[in-house]
Structure 1
Amino acid sequence: MVRGNTENLRLAAQTKRDAALARAEKGLRRLLKAGRPITFQTVAAEAGVSKDFLYRTSDLRERIMDLRSKTTPGSEPKRDHPRSEPPHPDTSSIVRTLAAKLAAERSTNGKKIAELEAALAAAHGEILQLRRRNPCPPPRTAPSGQ
């Protein structure tokens, strides 16, 4: 790469911006054609661009805001957004059941850990008593091969 050649960088950035702008326009047209709600989130997802890009591009921002305001809440199609759907009744009972099982297992594991820690402490104490009764001889040195 040639040092100081910023013209190529400018051209690459402009090309990238133009491509993103074209994708955003296409995505907006697809959403309009499908009758889906026009929001920054849906346009960004449909077009494969960032929401930041949509907000920074003033003409796109104004167009999306205008189209969004024209969409009335009554005419909006149902969204496939998980937060907008009521939870399935079976799902909440499954979650409660699994949470109760998890709590029971954690309690059982906590008791087992306490028992094992007590057994370990007892074993350490026994080792200490045995060492006091029978002190270990000094470590042996390996015979030198002279």
Structure 2
Amino acid sequence: MTDDARAKRIQTLNTAAKAKSQAKKEAAEKAIRTLVKRGEPITFQAVQREANVSHAFLYNHPDLRGRIERLRAQVRPLPAPATPADEESTLVLALTSQITRLKKQHRQEIQALRDALEQAHGENLDLRRELNRRGLPGQVQPS
């Protein structure tokens, strides 16, 4: 590999890493806004779970870390005693939030399964080509 090709490859990898990091940072910022909007406590674990990023990522970005620490330290006023209507709306909000989180998790799991299936199909095709190249039949014939 020439030095120019190696340098170009390194630059491409660096660009991809920066783009991935920026996307994770934006996801963390969006998660913070979402948690604030829902009135949920802002903690590293809550942001990590909502944004699907690691604790290390949050701790290694000083701006995100500082923001989470400031929001976590803010004293929240105690809610007024709940009325039955408030309890119902709180329950609806909690269940809606849980459904949203489960749908997101489901979508991620489905995508992971699709990716694995696609990879398995590719490997299967490669193996069949290798069998054909060696002159072996690609399928077992029923007896």
- The alignment's TM-score, normalised by the length of structure 2, stands at 0.49
| Structure whose alpha-carbon radius of gyration is higher | 1
Q: TM-score, normalised by structure 1?
A: 0.48
